[in-house]
């Protein structure tokens, strides 16, 4: 088993980028530590702790709500500006002990295919800010999940959403305590457009179109076949749409 040989806690983003850019050693950014500590078989040689970079704030400018990369999931749950559906999804992500360690940036970076909160961010059209040696870049979280190479040599510094509109979510699990087999999250914009995202249908949370569910090729496992997952997506998606239409009337 690989062991972490060295721990770094830089004081600036520039220093953190320099540490991560080294080619002679495998290095990974450390947010809350829940992913790295949970996968000891794939530990890097060195870690770069981001906790001293001042990225833990939650700020709002009109409808734009920005979560700093090291803001905790529990901070998201507790904050008055967080849309109710995202608050519920972050709360359901894991027990309290996990939420007080896991970070927003770490959740995006780990790309957990069953992350409820991550599906919510995709539905809300979240945009991540990435620090690079050439300056900041912005990329939709959905696009970042599709192409993980976009993170190479970069650091997630924040995630921004538009809090206007209404949100809803529906999922099906084997028991109330289980992670949903399929979860659908929707956001209705003020112009009536609805964005849907889901877990359980692909290797990462994805946006979905209810008219094209049959085109999807979900992974099958002991919890459900691909056919069953497509069926759940259709049923749950219709339920979310109905709730959002009701909230608009």
Q: What is the pLDDT of residue 23?
A: 85
Position 35 scores a pLDDT of 59
- Give the phi and the psi of residue 147 in degrees, each rounded to 5: -135, 90
Q: Answer yes or no: is pLDDT of 60 > 90.
A: yes
Helix (H, G, I), strand (E, B) or coil at 237: helix
Q: What is the distance between the alpha carbons of residues 10 and 230, in angstroms, rounded to a whole number?
A: 45
pLDDT tier at 4 (50, 70, 90 boundaries)?
confident
Residues β-bridged to residue 183: 171, 199
pLDDT score for 31: 76
Token look-up 């339920």 returns 239
pLDDT of 8 reads 92
Tell me what pLDDT residue 153 has.
Answer: 87
**pTM for the whole thing?**
0.91
Maximum distance among all Cα pairs of the chain, rounded to whole angstroms:
59
* pLDDT (mean) for 209-214: 97
Mean pLDDT of 140-160: 94
Angle, helices 84-92/116-123, rounded to nearest 10 degrees:
160
Asked if the model's pLDDT at residue 193 lies above 80, the reply is yes
- Looking at the predicted structure, is the pLDDT value of residue 231 above 80? yes
Q: What is the pLDDT of residues 69-127, one digit of tens each?
A: 999 999 999 999 999 999 999 999 989 999 999 999 999 998 999 999 999 999 999 99
Q: Tell me the two tokens of residue 214.
A: 């049959």
Distance of CA 64 to the CA centre of its chain: 17
- pLDDT single digits (tens) 20-30: 988 888 888 88
Q: Beta strand 46-49 with 27-30: parallel, antiparallel or unpaired? A: parallel
Find the mean pLDDT for residues 216-231.
96
Q: Residue 176: what pLDDT?
A: 86
Residue 160's SS3 state is strand
Domains in the chain: ranges and CATH: 6-52 (3.30.43.10), 53-162 (3.30.465.10), 166-248 (3.30.390.50)
Tell me the percentage of the chain whose pLDDT exceeds 90.
80
The overall average pLDDT reported for the chain is 92
pLDDT digits (tens, 9 = 90+) for 152-180: 889 999 999 999 999 999 999 999 889 99
Q: Give pLDDT, residue 246.
A: 85
DSSP class per residue in 18-74: HHHT-SSS-EEEESSSHHHHH-GGG--SEEEE-GGGS---EEEETTEEEEETT-BHH
Residue 33: per-residue pLDDT: 62
Give the pLDDT band of residue 36 (cuts 50, 70, 90): low
What's the average model confidence in pLDDT over 44-65?
A: 93
């Amino acid at each position: 088993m690989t062991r972490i040989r060295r721990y770094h806690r830089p004081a600036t983003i520039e220093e953190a980028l320099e540490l991560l850019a080294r080619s002679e050693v495998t290095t990974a950014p450390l947010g809350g530590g829940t992913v790295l500590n949970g996968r000891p078989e794939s530990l890097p040689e060195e870690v770069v702790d981001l906790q001293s970079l001042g990225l833990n704030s939650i700020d709002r400018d009109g409808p734009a709500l920005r979560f700093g990369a090291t803001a905790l999931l529990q901070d998201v749950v507790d904050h008055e500006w967080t849309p109710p559906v995202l608050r519920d999804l972050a709360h359901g992500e894991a027990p309290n002990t996990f939420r007080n360690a896991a970070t927003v940036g770490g959740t995006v970076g780990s790309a957990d295919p069953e992350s409820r909160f991550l599906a919510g961010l995709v539905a809300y059209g979240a945009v991540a800010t990435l620090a690079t040696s050439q300056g900041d870049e912005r990329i939709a979280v959905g696009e970042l999940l599709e192409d993980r190479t976009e993170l190479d040599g970069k650091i997630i510094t924040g995630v921004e959403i538009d809090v206007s509109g209404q949100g809803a979510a529906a999922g099906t699990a084997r028991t109330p305590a289980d992670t949903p087999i399929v979860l659908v999250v929707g956001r209705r914009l003020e112009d009536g457009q609805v964005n849907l995202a889901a877990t359980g249908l692909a290797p990462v949370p994805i946006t979905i179109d209810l008219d094209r569910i049959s085109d999807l090729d979900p992974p099958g496992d002991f919890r459900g076949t691909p056919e069953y997952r497509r069926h759940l997506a259709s049923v749950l998606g219709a339920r979310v749409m109905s709730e959002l239409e009701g909230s608009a009337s």
